[in-house]
Amino acid sequence: MSKADLIVGIQWGDEGKGKIVDLMAQDYDVVCRYQGGHNAGHTIVVGDKTLALHLIPSGVLNANAINIIGNGVVISPEALIEEMQQFGSLKGRLFISDKAHMILKHHILIDQAREKLRGAKAIGTTGRGIGPAYGSKIERSGHRMGELRDTEKLAQNLIDYFTTYRAIFEAMGIKTPGFDELKAELDMYAKELLIYVEDTTALVWKSLDEQKKVLLEGAQGTLLDIDHGTYPFVTSSSTISSGACIGLGLSPKDIGNVTGIVKAYCTRVGNGPFPTEDFEEDGKKLGKNGHEFGTTTGRPRRCGWFDAVAVKYASRINGCDQLSLMKLDVLDGFDKVKICTAYEIDGKRVETLPQSLENLKPIYEEFDGWNGSKGVDKYEDLPSNAKAYVKKIEEITGTKVGLISTGPDRKETIIL
């Protein structure tokens, strides 16, 4: 039996996982997504074509690979149908877990209403219903993709739920649909998606038993993990490598090599603590050079310097065998670049990630900048200062850098 290799985000998401999954997926038979929803976005650039994926695994561009959306993903049928349209027929190439929970319209309305009610204390969600859908799953009032096989029963169950909680929906200003409207919507989902729905856990097991090469892909990043991230400013699922076991039905023994994806600097979308955020000209320059706007939301990302303390923590919790360092070329043109090597908390130096990232001060090491890393595809051709920067990251995090991205295209990649 073969083992499944895994790619995981090491920061707050938006690290560039899409490019690396797309690059690696060319050598894999099966690519699986194991958590999150359409709040995630992977941008893939191939030549002059740019694709933004939200639910479909990044292996979709490998014509020989099959793509699996696992049970740990929450799926908006409407968003998935829309995304699928850019690829034509995916029959035989896309499989959706019958145990994956659905994001329905009331989840989206609840998400948006809650954020509005939070006011200044808003978490900064994408408003796409992810949290409420996972909430329904945990409180056992959710509905799974396999239930589309009997839309009449599903519609009636939803109507019963709306009736039971009518007072809450009215208090939040949410109008719920009637039976006929709801069933028509569910019938449309069933017509478009049921041909892709099956027991994906058995499919992944069969693939590993047959010695096929399997790649697992997460969404968001480690610091957004529901348990191990910067709570409460996190997502609603397990974004770390062990989440792949839950989200696909694998055992820890099924996991092979783990690659952590990390930017050469740091970004964050939404609210929450960000120790190395730069509010001055350097932060603005990072955002401009890196085209830092959310793939899903279009919101400008907050930008700052590389946080090696957080990356060391994330690398350990994910069991990373290597790091893939993305967007090194964005640092071209800076006179000085920084790496956060520790925090100062209450006058003390701390080199581990604390429970709260509030009220701390980053401690930086400063390095001479460089020019000329853009598009480089051989390590020896990198500027010497860029090489020194990469070596320092390896030294502090205790994890080797196995890939370096110097641009958005597949070809702009150094493999060490």
Residues known to be catalytic: 14, 42
Give the C-alpha distances (Å, rounded to integers) separating 124 from 39, 119, 262, 290. 12, 10, 22, 22
CB 292 within 8 A of CB 37: no
Give the C-alpha distances (Å, rounded to integers) separating 5 from 208, 222, 402. 11, 17, 14
Q: How many CA atoms lie within 13 A of 140 on its CB side?
A: 0
Distance from C-alpha of 172 to C-alpha of 174, rounded to nearest angstrom: 6
Widest pairwise Cα distance in the chain: 67
Q: Which amino acid, one-letter code, is at 51?
A: L
269, two tokens: 């979308």
CB 235 within 8 A of CB 39: yes
CB 27 within 8 A of CB 213: yes
CB 368 within 8 A of CB 385: yes
Give the C-alpha distances (Å, rounded to integers) separating 408 from 37, 290, 329, 382, 384. 24, 10, 10, 17, 22
